[in-house]
Structure 1
Amino acid sequence: METFVSFTNQSQGRDRLFRATQYACALAKYLLRNEAKRKELVTKLQYLESNMSSGRKLLRLGNTVNSIHAAKSTLQVSDPVLRFCLTLANLNRALYFICDNVMWARSIGLIRDIDKDRWSLNATRFYFLSLIMNLTRDVYGISQLMMQRSRDRNYQQKVHQHLNESPDVACVIVPQLDAFLFLLFESLRGHPSVVLDTLKNVCDLFIPLDTLGIFKTNAGVVGFCGLTSSLLGILSVLRPNLKIKP
Structure 2
Amino acid sequence: MVADTLIYHPTLTKLVTFWDSTPKREKSFRLLAYLSRFLAYYAYRKGYSAETISLFKDLKSHFTFIRKGLRFFKPINHLQTAAKTYDNKLLDPVLQATTVIRNLGYAGYLTLDTVVWFKLLGLIDKKNYPNVGKWASRFWFIGLVAGIVNSLHIIKSLSNEKISAENQAAREKKLYTAKRKLVWDLLDAFICLNTLDVLHFTEGDIGLAGIITSVMGLKDLWAATA
Query: TM-score, normalised to structure 2's length?
Result: 0.85
- Residue 105 of structure 2 corresponds to 92
Question: Which is higher, the Rg of structure 1 or of structure 2?
Answer: 1
- Residue 3 of structure 2 corresponds to none
- Residue 87 of structure 2 corresponds to 76
- Residue 208 of structure 2 corresponds to 224
Quote the Cα distance in structure 2 between the aligned partners of 1:37 and 1:215: 27
2:124 to 111, 114, 125: 111
How much has 1:32 moved relative to structure 2? 1.4
Report sequence identity in percent: 23
SS of aligned partner of 1:56 = helix
Change (3 A) 1:11 1:195: farther
- Residue 212 of structure 1 corresponds to 196
Q: Which runs of 5+ in 1 are unaligned?
A: 156-185, 242-246
2:39 to 24, 28, 31: 28
Quote the Cα distance in structure 1 between the aligned partners of 2:48 and 2:208: 23
Is 2:82–2:101's contact at 8 Å kept on the other side of the alignment? Answer: yes
- Residue 71 of structure 2 corresponds to 60
- Residue 223 of structure 2 corresponds to 239
In the alignment, residue 81 of structure 1 is paired with which amino acid?
V
Change (3 A) 1:138 1:201: same
What is the RMSD computed on CA atoms of the aligned residues?
2.3
In the alignment, residue 231 of structure 1 is paired with which amino acid?
V
Q: Which runs of 5+ in 2 are unaligned?
A: 1-11
- Residue 18 of structure 2 corresponds to 7
How much has 1:35 moved relative to structure 2? 3.5
Is 1:196–1:232's contact at 8 Å kept on the other side of the alignment? Answer: no
How much has 1:90 moved relative to structure 2? 0.7
- Residue 49 of structure 2 corresponds to 38
How much has 1:116 moved relative to structure 2? 4.5
How much has 1:29 moved relative to structure 2? 1.0
Structure 1 runs of 4+ with >4 Å offset: none
Quote the Cα distance in structure 1 between the aligned partners of 2:68 and 2:154: 31
Quote the Cα distance in structure 1 between the aligned partners of 2:126 and 2:203: 30
2:179 to 195, 207, 212: 195
Quote the Cα distance in structure 2 between the aligned partners of 1:224 and 1:8: 23
Change (3 A) 1:62 1:131: same
Is 2:194–2:201's contact at 8 Å kept on the other side of the alignment? Answer: yes
Tell me whether 192-201 or 120-129 shows the greater mean CA deviation: 192-201
